[in-house]
Amino acid sequence: GRTFLGSLIFEKEIKMRIKATYQDGTVIAQAEYGSVDIGEEVAKKGFAEKSKLTSSSNTCEEKKSDHGQLVLRNLKSPIPSWGHRSNQSAFTRPKGRLSGRMTLDSKNENDAGNHVTFPKENLTIGDFNLGSNVSLAKIKQDQKLIEENERLKNEKEVLLESYKALQSKVEQTAQELQQEKATTMDLTKHLESTLKTRVGTRMENLAAKVEMLKEIRRVNINVRFGNDLSDALQVLDEEGFTIPASLTELERIWAEYSLAQKNIQTCENVNEGSILIAKRNEVQQKLNMAVEVFILEVDELPLNKRLKTLQDLSTSLEAVYGQAKEGTNSEEILKKFYDWKCDKREEFTSVRSETEVSLQRLVAWFQNTVKVIRALAQCWCWCCSVKQGILVL
């Protein structure tokens, strides 16, 4: 009842009409906002009862009124403590005694009554005193509960929509799963019917290709066009002589000796010519020493061994390719040989790449075959267990 009363007067402009004041300070008043009588509304809900003012020795004259006064009772829930306002002059007049009888406030008998507003910012604990222990926090808590209910309701609607979407997705996934199961069963049956013949056919083809490769290698085992020449060039590169270090020094001193000879021939002064001849003689001595060092280094080179290697190589090449012709352009022959070598290298690389790809495909095919066989074995075991379960039932 008190909660209902609080909801009626919360943030409302209330018009109060004080009807009478008793000796003990009790005030009889009528509260309205607009055309709504708060007392009538409370009485309709059964939270209060109507009563008439009675005359007695303890009361004074009361004002005649067409409407009975309302006395609140049976308030089972607390009323907000808006009535604990320290300044109660807005509602009641100061208590007073007139010869022990009740006094009437002629000012408050005016039909217009007093207007009292309850702004939200001024409704604090202790503002009003309606005989209640409920605070404004209770009303705010009720409002928060209402807002929380609205929020939860919205969340419930959102969750319900999400649930419906998920349910639809689950149904769609179940349908896709059934389709995948049907496809898998069809594929399994197809593999069961074709696996035996397919494996045999693949193995026969592979064996035939291996035999063909062996035959090609056996036929071409003696075909070594260009290989001998390649080996010869490799021998020449690996066992070739390096330029002796003394040869560089010999060339440098020989250039100095030639320059000294030229200066002597062009000189016309006898004295200057004698000086140039002396320098030429010094250079000549250095030249002789450089020639001796060069001869010693050349003598240490394995010329005989190198000559024998070249002779053996020439003999083997003549046996394969015939006698060498005079005036043959060696640059052209080396260019043809280089082109042939590049072609062979590309061919070898291509064959190796194709072989690797074929081996990878073969390994992948065997792996897939093993997986299929394992899957078939599992399906077979599952079918056997299902049949046994059916027989047991």
Residues contacting residue 247 through CB under 8 Å, at least 6 positions apart: 294
As a whole number, mean pLDDT of residues 193-207 equals 70
Res 328: pLDDT? 58
Weakest mean pLDDT among 72-86, 203-217, 235-249, 310-324: 72-86
| The pLDDT of residue 270 is above 90 | no
The answer to whether the beta carbons of residues 72 and 47 sit under 8 Å apart is: yes
128 three-class SS: strand
Neighbour tally for 17: CB within 10 Å: 19
pTM of the full structure: 0.27
Please give the residue that has the higher pLDDT: either 48 or 266: 266
Residues 6+ apart with CB under 8 A from 59: 20, 22, 23, 53, 101, 102
pLDDT digits (tens, 9 = 90+) for 282-306: 988 888 888 888 888 888 877 777 7
| Res 389: pLDDT | 57
Q: How confident is the model at residue 217 (pLDDT cuts 50, 70, 90)?
A: low
Range 53-64 average pLDDT: 41
Question: How far is Cα 88 from Cα 322, in angstroms, rounded to an integer?
Answer: 140
> 74 falls in which pLDDT band (50, 70, 90)?
very low
What is the mean predicted confidence (pLDDT) over 157-176?
90
Average pLDDT along the chain: 69
How much is the pLDDT for 135? Answer: 60
User: pLDDT-derived band of residue 156, with 50, 70 and 90 as boundaries?
Assistant: very high
Question: What's the whole-number mean pLDDT along residues 309-316?
Answer: 75
92, pLDDT greater than 80: no
> Does position 159 have pLDDT exceeding 90, yes or no?
yes
Q: Which residues of 29-52 are buried (b: 16+ CB within 10 A; e: fewer)?
A: bbbbbeeebbbbbbbeeebbeeee
* From 53-57, 102-106, 328-332, 366-370, the region with the lowest mean pLDDT: 102-106
* Domain boundary assignment for the chain: 2-134, 227-368
Lowest mean pLDDT among 49-53, 252-256, 286-290: 49-53
Confidence (pLDDT) at 110: 39
pLDDT digits (tens, 9 = 90+) for 326-366: 555 667 777 777 787 788 788 888 888 888 888 888 888 87
Lowest mean pLDDT among 101-105, 158-162, 226-230, 235-239: 101-105
Residue 34 has pLDDT above 90, yes or no: no
Out of 39-48, 160-169, 178-187, 225-234, give the one with best mean pLDDT. 160-169
**Lowest mean per-residue pLDDT among 80-94, 167-181, 196-210, 224-238:** 80-94
Cβ neighbours for 51, distance < 8 A, ≥ 6 positions apart: 68, 69, 70, 71
Question: Confidence class of residue 161 from pLDDT cuts 50, 70 and 90?
Answer: very high
- % pLDDT > 90, the chain: 4
Separation of alpha carbons 250 and 259, rounded Å: 14
Whether the predicted pLDDT of 261 surpasses 60: yes
